[in-house]
Amino acid sequence: MYFAALLARTEDGWEASDTELDDVETLSDLADLAREASPEEDTVLVLIEQEDAWFGVVRVDGEDDPRIYVSDAAAAARSAYGELLLTDELLGREPGSDGPDLDALNLDGTEDGESEDEGDDEDGPAAEAVAHGPVGDSEILDDLGVGEKELRALDAEDALGAIADALGASEVLETVR
């Protein structure tokens, strides 16, 4: 289960709308969706949370490239919606790289000819796929009142509410929840 909302800053404050991400296939599609929410090219935030496991913030300011923050890259990588946000650049990978070759991995945890007791090495290809923890622009909301330290300290369970509260947009976010 996921929740996604758009918060668009207007001259009258924040306007919220819930959004379905089913038709969004790329980060560019998501940025276009955000831009449509604000005809004046004001700041738009896309807030996404999934099952209290992770949350993400995408910030679109006019035609600038979107800025992204994801609270837990490994949890988001297991989600179709998280995969939208986890670009190669965000993960520090070469563009077009898909990470380790999962077909070449022996998923029982052992290498050929190795006993199961010897397979405790966590430095293998699966460990480097996507790290646990936050990735992206942790200063994404600094100018809006949520500093890097506060953003990193947020728990996925109540992060969107805390962000909306700091923006003065908790009431409008609750109307679309």
Over residues 78-84, mean pLDDT:
89
Distance of CA 109 to the CA centre of its chain: 29
pLDDT band at 96 (very low <50, low <70, confident <90, very high): low
List C-alpha distances in Å: 85 to 6, 75, 107, 168.
15, 12, 26, 25
Would you state the pLDDT for residue 97? 56
168: left (phi over 0), alpha (psi -120 to 50) or beta: left
pLDDT band at 125 (very low <50, low <70, confident <90, very high): very low
Highest mean pLDDT among 63-72, 78-87, 120-129: 63-72
Helix count and strand count (H, E) for the chain: 7, 6
Would you state the pLDDT for residue 1? 83
pLDDT band at 112 (very low <50, low <70, confident <90, very high): very low
The answer to whether 62 and 98 are in contact (CB under 8 A) is no
Would you state the pLDDT for residue 98? 54
127 burial class (0-12, 13-18, 19+ CB within 10 angstroms)?
Answer: exposed
pLDDT, the chain, mean: 83
